[in-house]
Structure 1
Protein backbone atom coordinates (compact mmCIF):
# COMPACT_ATOMS: atom_id res chain seq x y z
CA UNK A 1 0.00 0.00 0.00
CA UNK A 2 1.41 3.38 -0.94
CA UNK A 3 1.73 6.18 1.57
CA UNK A 4 -1.08 8.04 -0.18
CA UNK A 5 -3.41 5.03 -0.05
CA UNK A 6 -2.48 4.41 3.58
CA UNK A 7 -3.35 7.98 4.57
CA UNK A 8 -6.60 7.79 2.61
CA UNK A 9 -7.58 4.58 4.41
CA UNK A 10 -6.96 6.19 7.80
CA UNK A 11 -8.73 9.39 6.79
CA UNK A 12 -11.74 7.34 5.67
CA UNK A 13 -11.79 5.63 9.08
CA UNK A 14 -11.74 9.01 10.84
CA UNK A 15 -14.61 10.20 8.65
CA UNK A 16 -16.58 7.08 9.55
CA UNK A 17 -15.99 7.71 13.25
CA UNK A 18 -17.11 11.32 12.87
CA UNK A 19 -20.27 10.10 11.13
CA UNK A 20 -20.97 7.81 14.10
CA UNK A 21 -20.52 10.75 16.47
CA UNK A 22 -22.94 12.75 14.31
CA UNK A 23 -25.55 9.99 14.61
CA UNK A 24 -25.18 10.05 18.39
CA UNK A 25 -25.67 13.83 18.41
CA UNK A 26 -28.97 13.32 16.61
CA UNK A 27 -30.02 10.77 19.25
CA UNK A 28 -29.35 13.32 22.00
CA UNK A 29 -32.21 15.49 20.76
CA UNK A 30 -34.62 12.56 20.99
CA UNK A 31 -33.38 11.08 24.27
CA UNK A 32 -34.79 11.42 27.75
CA UNK A 33 -32.83 13.27 30.42
CA UNK A 34 -30.97 10.24 31.76
CA UNK A 35 -30.14 8.88 28.32
CA UNK A 36 -29.13 12.35 27.17
CA UNK A 37 -26.43 12.57 29.85
CA UNK A 38 -25.08 9.14 28.92
CA UNK A 39 -25.07 10.05 25.22
CA UNK A 40 -23.29 13.34 25.85
CA UNK A 41 -20.64 11.54 27.91
CA UNK A 42 -20.23 9.00 25.13
CA UNK A 43 -19.92 11.75 22.52
CA UNK A 44 -17.23 13.44 24.62
CA UNK A 45 -15.32 10.17 24.95
CA UNK A 46 -15.56 9.35 21.24
CA UNK A 47 -14.62 12.90 20.25
CA UNK A 48 -11.50 12.71 22.42
CA UNK A 49 -10.51 9.39 20.81
CA UNK A 50 -11.07 10.81 17.34
CA UNK A 51 -9.08 13.96 18.16
CA UNK A 52 -6.16 11.87 19.42
CA UNK A 53 -6.27 9.75 16.27
CA UNK A 54 -6.35 12.87 14.08
CA UNK A 55 -3.34 14.28 15.93
CA UNK A 56 -1.42 11.02 15.47
CA UNK A 57 -2.30 10.92 11.77
CA UNK A 58 -1.06 14.48 11.33
CA UNK A 59 2.14 13.58 13.15
CA UNK A 60 2.62 10.60 10.84
CA UNK A 61 2.02 12.75 7.75
CA UNK A 62 4.69 15.20 8.89
CA UNK A 63 7.27 12.45 9.29
CA UNK A 64 10.02 12.41 6.71
CA UNK A 65 10.43 9.40 4.44
CA UNK A 66 13.58 8.29 6.26
CA UNK A 67 11.74 7.75 9.54
CA UNK A 68 8.54 6.48 7.89
CA UNK A 69 8.94 2.76 8.66
CA UNK A 70 9.79 3.16 12.34
CA UNK A 71 7.08 5.74 12.94
CA UNK A 72 4.49 3.78 10.96
CA UNK A 73 4.97 0.67 13.12
CA UNK A 74 4.34 2.60 16.32
CA UNK A 75 1.46 4.45 14.74
CA UNK A 76 -0.26 1.22 13.70
CA UNK A 77 -0.21 0.03 17.32
CA UNK A 78 -1.76 3.32 18.44
CA UNK A 79 -4.34 3.15 15.66
CA UNK A 80 -5.47 -0.31 16.77
CA UNK A 81 -5.90 1.06 20.29
CA UNK A 82 -8.00 3.93 18.91
CA UNK A 83 -10.16 1.50 16.93
CA UNK A 84 -10.71 -0.72 19.97
CA UNK A 85 -11.50 2.22 22.25
CA UNK A 86 -13.89 3.73 19.71
CA UNK A 87 -15.63 0.41 19.20
CA UNK A 88 -16.06 -0.16 22.94
CA UNK A 89 -17.26 3.38 23.55
CA UNK A 90 -19.73 3.30 20.68
CA UNK A 91 -21.22 0.01 21.90
CA UNK A 92 -22.21 1.51 25.26
CA UNK A 93 -25.52 2.94 24.03
CA UNK A 94 -26.58 0.44 21.41
Structure 2
Protein backbone atom coordinates (compact mmCIF):
# COMPACT_ATOMS: atom_id res chain seq x y z
CA UNK A 1 0.00 0.00 0.00
CA UNK A 2 1.53 3.31 -1.00
CA UNK A 3 1.46 6.46 1.09
CA UNK A 4 -1.52 8.00 -0.69
CA UNK A 5 -3.56 4.79 -0.29
CA UNK A 6 -2.62 4.65 3.37
CA UNK A 7 -3.57 8.29 3.89
CA UNK A 8 -6.89 7.79 2.08
CA UNK A 9 -7.64 4.72 4.20
CA UNK A 10 -6.87 6.59 7.43
CA UNK A 11 -9.04 9.54 6.32
CA UNK A 12 -11.88 7.13 5.57
CA UNK A 13 -11.58 5.65 9.06
CA UNK A 14 -11.55 9.13 10.64
CA UNK A 15 -14.64 10.13 8.66
CA UNK A 16 -16.42 6.98 9.85
CA UNK A 17 -15.50 7.76 13.46
CA UNK A 18 -16.88 11.28 13.04
CA UNK A 19 -20.10 9.90 11.55
CA UNK A 20 -20.49 7.44 14.41
CA UNK A 21 -19.92 10.22 16.94
CA UNK A 22 -22.75 12.24 15.38
CA UNK A 23 -25.02 9.20 15.46
CA UNK A 24 -24.10 8.52 19.08
CA UNK A 25 -24.95 12.13 19.95
CA UNK A 26 -28.44 11.57 18.51
CA UNK A 27 -28.83 8.36 20.50
CA UNK A 28 -27.66 10.18 23.63
CA UNK A 29 -30.38 12.78 23.12
CA UNK A 30 -32.97 9.99 22.93
CA UNK A 31 -31.52 8.42 26.07
CA UNK A 32 -31.70 11.73 27.90
CA UNK A 33 -35.35 12.14 26.92
CA UNK A 34 -36.39 8.63 27.96
CA UNK A 35 -38.33 7.71 31.08
CA UNK A 36 -36.23 7.09 34.18
CA UNK A 37 -36.07 3.27 33.96
CA UNK A 38 -35.30 3.27 30.25
CA UNK A 39 -32.82 6.13 30.66
CA UNK A 40 -30.66 4.01 32.98
CA UNK A 41 -30.50 1.18 30.46
CA UNK A 42 -29.91 3.56 27.56
CA UNK A 43 -27.10 5.26 29.46
CA UNK A 44 -25.41 1.93 30.10
CA UNK A 45 -25.59 1.24 26.36
CA UNK A 46 -24.21 4.70 25.58
CA UNK A 47 -21.33 4.20 28.00
CA UNK A 48 -20.42 0.93 26.27
CA UNK A 49 -20.63 2.60 22.86
CA UNK A 50 -18.45 5.48 23.99
CA UNK A 51 -15.84 3.05 25.34
CA UNK A 52 -15.81 1.19 22.03
CA UNK A 53 -15.57 4.45 20.07
CA UNK A 54 -12.65 5.55 22.21
CA UNK A 55 -10.95 2.18 21.62
CA UNK A 56 -11.46 2.57 17.87
CA UNK A 57 -10.16 6.15 17.99
CA UNK A 58 -7.07 4.98 19.88
CA UNK A 59 -6.44 2.21 17.37
CA UNK A 60 -6.68 4.75 14.54
CA UNK A 61 -4.13 6.94 16.31
CA UNK A 62 -1.79 3.97 16.71
CA UNK A 63 -2.29 3.08 13.05
CA UNK A 64 -1.47 6.63 11.96
CA UNK A 65 1.73 6.59 14.00
CA UNK A 66 2.85 3.11 12.93
CA UNK A 67 5.72 2.36 10.61
CA UNK A 68 4.85 0.94 7.20
CA UNK A 69 5.56 -2.65 8.24
CA UNK A 70 3.66 -2.35 11.53
CA UNK A 71 0.81 -0.54 9.79
CA UNK A 72 -0.03 -3.59 7.69
CA UNK A 73 -0.06 -5.81 10.77
CA UNK A 74 -2.23 -3.39 12.74
CA UNK A 75 -4.81 -2.90 10.00
CA UNK A 76 -6.76 -6.07 10.87
CA UNK A 77 -6.99 -5.06 14.53
CA UNK A 78 -8.38 -1.69 13.54
CA UNK A 79 -10.92 -3.32 11.24
CA UNK A 80 -12.04 -5.64 14.06
CA UNK A 81 -12.59 -2.64 16.33
CA UNK A 82 -14.58 -0.92 13.56
CA UNK A 83 -16.75 -3.99 12.99
CA UNK A 84 -17.42 -4.33 16.70
CA UNK A 85 -18.41 -0.69 17.09
CA UNK A 86 -20.58 -0.79 13.98
CA UNK A 87 -22.42 -3.88 15.27
CA UNK A 88 -22.95 -2.27 18.68
CA UNK A 89 -24.35 0.85 17.04
CA UNK A 90 -26.79 -1.25 15.01
CA UNK A 91 -28.00 -2.94 18.19
CA UNK A 92 -28.33 0.41 19.97
CA UNK A 93 -30.32 1.89 17.09
CA UNK A 94 -32.80 -0.98 17.28
CA UNK A 95 -33.15 -0.62 21.05
CA UNK A 96 -33.61 3.14 20.93
CA UNK A 97 -36.48 3.01 18.42
**Structure 1 residue ranges, 4+ long, deviating more than 3 angstroms after superposition:** none
Q: Paired residue for 1:44?
A: 47
Structure 2 runs not aligned, ≥5 long: none
Q: C-alpha distance in 2, partners of 1:54/1:21?
A: 14
Distance 1:30 1:48, change over 3 A: same
Which is further off, 34-43 or 67-76? 67-76
How many Å separate the matches in 2 of 1:71 and 1:39? 32
Structure 1 length normalisation: TM-score?
0.82
Number of equivalenced pairs: 94
Cα RMSD, aligned residues only: 1.9
Q: Name the residue aligned to 2:19.
A: 16
Distance 1:36 1:87, change over 3 A: same
**Which deviates more, 8-17 or 22-31?**
22-31
Mapped to 2, the partners of 1:2 and 1:54 lie a distance apart of: 19
Aligned equivalent of 2:6: 3
